[in-house]
Structure 1
């Protein structure tokens, strides 16, 4: 039996006792009592065997990275020596090329400089539990004699904020108590300057429901969180909040950032202090022994655990949910809630979450708050703050900056589609207007699709657009909104297309009537439930859900042929799995080597279109100017090359969106300029685009060179030569842009920002011989171009 989903996240229990007596703790205060029979600290042989099993699993599944949390009880009780031993064993056991993301979750009471110095040495990030101000925190998080832990936790956080240790600070975890003032709790957490906040619903089941204060209403936890959400939004979202960000992401079809929301498969295993292998710790709240698998690190592999029925159940997505959940309109965002919260004696976990009403209200209210259609007159309002522009000028751009670009692009797509369809007042246009009124988020999901804009631009330019696509867009939006409709749609080459959803095979027809309602879509004898497996003639848009990024592999939309290279046909299942594996590895590499670019990619790149293979030995990729959020790539032979192509092409996507909003250069400049990476001269925008994209290329090779520091061999030599060449090309192009005399003030700001970013790549040593070879190659390229162009 194959492993459904390999594990990439591990909780390693290094100590099974705690120095606090929190009354909401699922380990000691809920149904499971297994902690009583376990050793206090993990012995050396347990740590060695656990590290070996993780390394073995990583090698078997060629994992580019694993994520390990040192946990308890209270892990700091294990002491510095045992924590150092655990870290060293884990690093030694991982195969070459597999990165270790190592973290520790602690109550912070024992945190000291000695521990922090160890964490700096071993690169261990620190998450701290804090439930708010002193009054809120002391409701539950006290010592066994009732003393407050609050002052000690604040001292620990002050230590983590010191410049020497700030990079260790991973964030705050806060368990919700609706008796506490939500705004006061939020403000107390924000005052500690965390890089992120994670609000956790208190563990509960249908046997032991959550506390709902008298007179609080049916959804007190949603009400509590929504009060914070409104306050957080009014402040401009000053800190990432995992539960809110997860709702925002899943409403747009992306992956969740927490296991308590979304349909992403579970890929976590727990290793207890005695070496037993268990499912997620939260199951301890269900019944005694609920997380048990019967396996341990001495006798069983992690593949054995992955085949355990409980693990398989939690990796089955929509099919693993109760019937009530599968019919819920927000199921793809909610995901049925945390698995443990579904438990009821006699029915197991085949129930909605005990927080079902809270989750429904939380998700739908956030959806309604953030989904109002954007109506911005062309060029009348600039959506980017000065901070956003500063990030983008440096060639970077985090989630905020790229999200602002995406919002502006959505507004532009709305105007373009309106220009195409409003004048005809067709049934499709009327359906679009009705959907916008009833479910604007559903329409936005279709209008934000990269190839919607590409089609609209072609239609307005008289270059291949047709109003049949308007019908398809309207039907797709109505299907997403689950509203009743009936439309006549075109059938192209035997396929009825619904943008963002998929296509239905209908041979021998040119038109077909499609009907829809809350339960599905109907076309003749075919019933399609587009969000779950069904009719074998239905080919859905398939998505790859990665940690922090979900991307569609778009191989069915007829409008995807917007790139300069031919697109690939529908991928066979095996090809799709190859793509998924390559994207997983590439994403891990981007997160490790180019984190400053990866955040923007996660926020703005939602579609990868497979291209047909290029000439032998040549990697093919492209970004279409009118398709924000998409890139086209012919799958390369290695994941590192795929990572490079993703970063390179998304630079073009970002800059194209900036150029839709701002003038960076004089449009009257008709001169052609030398681009060091091309044999032909380029107009100023082409040179600007290429330079911006090659910032990421230089940063990529700089990361590879750093990884090969002190290592000899062909791969290391190639990386150093590539870095020396691309940074020289990019530096020359920056100089050409600066000297062109045709940049606006903002354009000059972008050039100076790019120069600043390139400095870090220029500072990486490659050796005198490599530097000399690169300079000679660059000079030869310039000389050849001058000869061909007849220039001195």
Structure 2
């Protein structure tokens, strides 16, 4: 047996092989494969235990970050709470310390009650429910055996999940397309239930048993889904729609969210109630025994399952498709369609090497969405004009040039926030907060912009979008924090409920409230500039006319002449800089920072006036770092925290001035990288960097060189203003850094990896440094500088392998 290049990470665990409904479009009971008849109705305890061990063994072997398990059927709730509890416990225990577990249950909802929901809440089991639309649409298929409607019971279950107690469990709705139903009516009925996501499934069909096409229309299913797309888009895309999101993602070159689209390898296995290891259930529609592998968890590992020919056939991407599909212009979005829908027993026994029976529909859907996206009015792209680009490239950048970068970074933050809301499961608290934030964005956009421009919004959003066990909770907590802060900044009356983490209520750009171990707080704007925080029977009043509350940790903002800067020591997401941050500063420590920042700013305005306007326009936050035990200067700029730098308070305001202008160079260049391709990211060469003991990749060298333009200018100014030994030391440093920065510019230009725009940018950097080479420097300082530089280069060369 050879190892599989694509380990399995998604598992469907059959809890019960029978159902309490008789849906006539069910692939389990109504299609070619009838193996359910010979299987036990309920999974055994032994099968559950060995399945959990097999999954953990596979995850450990392949170092998986997360495994996704869906408890399924038939109808899984028929297995009962004890059996479901055992499944959850077995999986959680086996995977503890191995990887994260994403556990879900998919149900028809008719027997879902509070007792089941309590069990699911205990194990954080997300719940998906099948519903085909309004009552008329749903009753076409989803009925009891006596023909009675299941619609009322399903709505009751969804109402239970939508309530505040269980909203965090609500995973979404699954709807099977029926052309007899109006797509807009179906979408509206489902959207009214506020699901986090909707899955629209094409009815299972093959070339042997093709789907109905009323009126002989060539693309009725594609047209049906496009009408849903248009309604969804007109409504602002308020929830995820898996098939539509997958098309949009694949058009952008990203991965699909469903096995029915895209070219990503399928990593799915099904465990039946008797322990049989099978391929995807959708294959039951092809022929009797199609999903079978002949394997069982009691005898076979998941590594063996992963190299089964049926699994590997679906992991070959483009090479696994028929010739017609490989030559199709939309194949990277369509992916050939669902594997089962390609089956054709005739035509020389071609099996699954055919286009999907929905080929024309899928092409219609993909091209229709593509064309609509091209015609949509895009968000205005904020381009730097030539003059502002050249200002930034020269190492400087005035007020308007940096303001353009700032506006673009706000746009990025808005897009990230939208992605968080779009991709996350909405709790009732999160949904209400999002509604508040959306309303404020219309009524008080300046206040929302101030909050969304917060430097530490992006690290939060990126953590959410990476996914993982706690992503949903982090997402909705952050949305609520942003909404509460925007409400208070707008001075509006209203209340936002905010989940609490680690005893801190975070209010970005305002501060934080220490609330011990509470789980949530109600933040109420009083409309008079004050606000009230109610948590666990306690009340904190903050604002004009209220006594100082020790729980309120206000963000300290210093209004210096021409520069407003905050000292950020409260935000839990500020720890992004590679060095330990301080805790909450004492009042005296904060005042010392205030005085040093005032002194540093006055020095920058006087001695480095070309840097002052841009810094004032783009640097809004300084995050204090813990001081080095050795007394070394420490500073950092995080690539994804535009507008912030982190610094351990140095010994003098002049040194603080150097650290500020140096780190703000990194901030500016990071924003340029967000907007322009300056180099080929495929370049893997490492380069000598005069300021580092190690060789650097091209981006690292570019960042360091750009930052050292400010370092050169700092020591140039210090040489002019200092006296005695300090003046000589500054002269040596100026001489060294101007020459080595010029050398680094030459290295960048000779790398062959800069884009034309990158060459223009680096050339402008070089012009600034070259202008400094004409400044007179004493022979002694020049010699000392060259000796120091040569020594550094020798030591760096000795360290290279």
How far 1:777 moved relative to its partner?
11
C-alpha separation between the residues in 2 aligned to 1:375 and 1:77? 49
2:683 is the counterpart of 1:782: no
Q: Deviations over 1:309-340 (max 9, x none)?
A: 01010000000001100010000000000000
Q: TM-score scaled to structure 1, two decimals?
A: 0.54
SS of structure 2 residue aligned to 1:46: helix
The verdict on how the C-alpha distance between 1:787 and 1:85 changes in structure 2, with shifts beyond 3 A counting, is: same
Q: Deviations over 1:176-199 (max 9, x none)?
A: 001001111000000111011110
Aligned to 1:536: none
Q: Are the counterparts in 1 of residues 420 and 464 from structure 2 also a CA contact under 8 Å?
A: no
Aligned to 2:31: 30
Aligned to 2:544: none
* Correspondence list, 1:368-517, <5 A: 368-372=371-375, 392=413, 397-399=417-419
Aligned to 2:177: 176
2:329 is the counterpart of 1:325: no
Q: Are the counterparts in 1 of residues 421 and 475 from structure 2 also a CA contact under 8 Å?
A: no
Q: Deviations over 1:708-763 (max 9, x none)?
A: xxxxxxxxxxxxxx76548879x979x9799999999xx99997xx99xx9xxx9x
C-alpha separation between the residues in 2 aligned to 1:732 and 1:3? 57
SS of structure 2 residue aligned to 1:232: helix
2:592 is the counterpart of 1:591: no
Alignment partner of 1:357 out of 330, 355, 360: 360
C-alpha separation between the residues in 1 aligned to 2:422 and 2:410? 10
Q: Are the counterparts in 2 of residues 65 and 588 from structure 1 also a CA contact under 8 Å?
A: no
Aligned to 1:309: 309
The verdict on how the C-alpha distance between 1:187 and 1:783 changes in structure 2, with shifts beyond 3 A counting, is: same
Q: Are the counterparts in 2 of residues 396 and 597 from structure 1 also a CA contact under 8 Å?
A: no
SS of structure 1 residue aligned to 2:649: helix
C-alpha separation between the residues in 1 aligned to 2:331 and 2:228? 23
Q: Are the counterparts in 2 of residues 590 and 597 from structure 1 also a CA contact under 8 Å?
A: no
Q: Deviations over 1:469-521 (max 9, x none)?
A: xxxxxxxxxxxxxxxxxxxxxxxxxxxxxxxxxxxxxxxxxxxxxxxxxxxxx
How far 1:275 moved relative to its partner?
0.4
SS of structure 2 residue aligned to 1:288: coil
The verdict on how the C-alpha distance between 1:274 and 1:317 changes in structure 2, with shifts beyond 3 A counting, is: same
Q: Are the counterparts in 1 of residues 101 and 469 from structure 2 also a CA contact under 8 Å?
A: no
C-alpha separation between the residues in 2 aligned to 1:589 and 1:402? 14
The verdict on how the C-alpha distance between 1:749 and 1:25 changes in structure 2, with shifts beyond 3 A counting, is: farther
* Correspondence list, 1:662-681, <5 A: none
SS of structure 1 residue aligned to 2:651: helix
How far 1:244 moved relative to its partner?
0.7
Q: Are the counterparts in 1 of residues 70 and 105 from structure 2 also a CA contact under 8 Å?
A: yes
Q: Are the counterparts in 2 of residues 12 and 272 from structure 1 also a CA contact under 8 Å?
A: yes
The verdict on how the C-alpha distance between 1:780 and 1:92 changes in structure 2, with shifts beyond 3 A counting, is: same
How far 1:371 moved relative to its partner?
1.5
C-alpha separation between the residues in 1 aligned to 2:235 and 2:101? 35
Q: Are the counterparts in 2 of residues 392 and 401 from structure 1 also a CA contact under 8 Å?
A: no
The verdict on how the C-alpha distance between 1:699 and 1:281 changes in structure 2, with shifts beyond 3 A counting, is: farther
C-alpha separation between the residues in 1 aligned to 2:419 and 2:469? 17
Aligned to 1:141: 142
Aligned to 2:8: 7
C-alpha separation between the residues in 1 aligned to 2:248 and 2:654? 55
Aligned to 1:514: none
C-alpha separation between the residues in 2 aligned to 1:197 and 1:185? 11
The verdict on how the C-alpha distance between 1:68 and 1:723 changes in structure 2, with shifts beyond 3 A counting, is: farther
Aligned to 1:560: none
The verdict on how the C-alpha distance between 1:370 and 1:116 changes in structure 2, with shifts beyond 3 A counting, is: same
C-alpha separation between the residues in 2 aligned to 1:272 and 1:167? 28
Q: Deviations over 1:82-101 (max 9, x none)?
A: 11110000011115141100
SS of structure 2 residue aligned to 1:398: helix
The verdict on how the C-alpha distance between 1:245 and 1:115 changes in structure 2, with shifts beyond 3 A counting, is: same
Structure 2, unaligned runs of 5 or more: 385-402, 424-461, 477-560, 606-611, 635-645, 659-801
Q: TM-score scaled to structure 2, two decimals?
A: 0.54
SS of structure 1 residue aligned to 2:240: coil
Q: Are the counterparts in 2 of residues 398 and 596 from structure 1 also a CA contact under 8 Å?
A: no
Aligned to 1:670: none
Matched positions, count: 484
How far 1:784 moved relative to its partner?
3.4
Q: Are the counterparts in 2 of residues 64 and 589 from structure 1 also a CA contact under 8 Å?
A: no
Q: Are the counterparts in 1 of residues 570 and 583 from structure 2 also a CA contact under 8 Å?
A: no
SS of structure 1 residue aligned to 2:284: helix
Q: Are the counterparts in 2 of residues 738 and 748 from structure 1 also a CA contact under 8 Å?
A: no
The verdict on how the C-alpha distance between 1:402 and 1:276 changes in structure 2, with shifts beyond 3 A counting, is: closer
2:283 is the counterpart of 1:283: yes
RMSD between aligned residues:
4.7
The structure that has the greater radius of gyration is 2
C-alpha separation between the residues in 2 aligned to 1:174 and 1:33? 23
How far 1:233 moved relative to its partner?
1.3
C-alpha separation between the residues in 2 aligned to 1:311 and 1:35? 21
2:158 is the counterpart of 1:165: no
Aligned to 1:78: 79
C-alpha separation between the residues in 2 aligned to 1:109 and 1:319? 43
Structure 1, unaligned runs of 5 or more: 404-584, 600-682, 702-721, 763-769
Q: Are the counterparts in 2 of residues 593 and 700 from structure 1 also a CA contact under 8 Å?
A: no
Q: Deviations over 1:58-78 (max 9, x none)?
A: 111111111100000000001
C-alpha separation between the residues in 2 aligned to 1:268 and 1:243? 18
C-alpha separation between the residues in 1 aligned to 2:381 and 2:247? 30
C-alpha separation between the residues in 2 aligned to 1:164 and 1:57? 35
How far 1:780 moved relative to its partner?
11
Q: Are the counterparts in 2 of residues 107 and 128 from structure 1 also a CA contact under 8 Å?
A: yes
SS of structure 2 residue aligned to 1:143: coil
The verdict on how the C-alpha distance between 1:732 and 1:88 changes in structure 2, with shifts beyond 3 A counting, is: farther
Aligned to 2:202: 201
Q: Are the counterparts in 2 of residues 137 and 150 from structure 1 also a CA contact under 8 Å?
A: yes
How far 1:398 moved relative to its partner?
3.3
Q: Are the counterparts in 2 of residues 17 and 73 from structure 1 also a CA contact under 8 Å?
A: yes
